[in-house]
Amino acid sequence: MLEDSKVAARIPAQDLQRARSFYAEKLGLEPSVELPGGLLYRCGEGEFGLFESAGAASGDHTQMSWQVEDIETIVEWLRARGVVFEEYDFPGLRTVNGIAEVRDSEGNLFGKGAWFSDSEGNVLGINRPTEELRRTMLGPDPGR
């Protein structure tokens, strides 16, 4: 039942107008649908909603991420728009210029990732899985 259903993220915003400005000015996104207390964005085949909330974002983990073809270009484009990327230096996760090689516990490369926070403290990610992982997750790409 659920395996055939569309998945969408819902992200809290204490100040919906401030969040709308961030997503427009920094990420280049405009809402597809505007409702009282919420904004719906469509990106590729997915969607996410920002909803007005009195609660604060945890800021402790990735709420949502975009899967991209060229992470370096996207990170530089976002940085030029004023997005500040997190820098991490933990065992197993170290960023260089905002981008980390993401590996499993055996050291196998999963891909690359970069993280930033929106105006509301939600952690968002940009990722580029390896071709092997993409094929495993998504199947063969008929466009290639």
Number of Cβ within a 10 Å radius of residue 128: 23
Q: pLDDT digit of tens for each residue in the chain (144 aa)?
A: 788 888 899 999 999 999 999 999 999 999 999 999 999 999 998 999 999 999 877 778 999 999 999 999 999 999 999 999 999 999 888 999 999 999 888 888 889 999 999 999 999 999 998 777 666 666 665 454
The CATH class of 2-138 is alpha beta
Instruction: Give the DSSP H or E segment for 134.
Output: helix 131-138
What pLDDT is recorded for position 47? 95
Cα separation values, 48 from 29, 92, 102, 108, Å: 11, 30, 24, 30
Give residue limits of the domains in the chain.
2-138
Q: H/E element holding 49?
A: strand 46-52
Amino acid at the residue 67:
Q
C-alpha span between 106 and 98 (Å, rounded): 23
Note the pLDDT of residue 144: 46
Q: What pLDDT score does 5 carry?
A: 86
Q: Could you tell me the two tokens for 18?
A: 């401030």
Confidence (pLDDT) at 110: 87
Three-class SS of residue 31?
coil
pLDDT of the residue at 133: 67
At 77 the pLDDT is 98
Please state the pTM of the whole predicted model: 0.87
Bridge partners of 125, per DSSP, are 65, 115
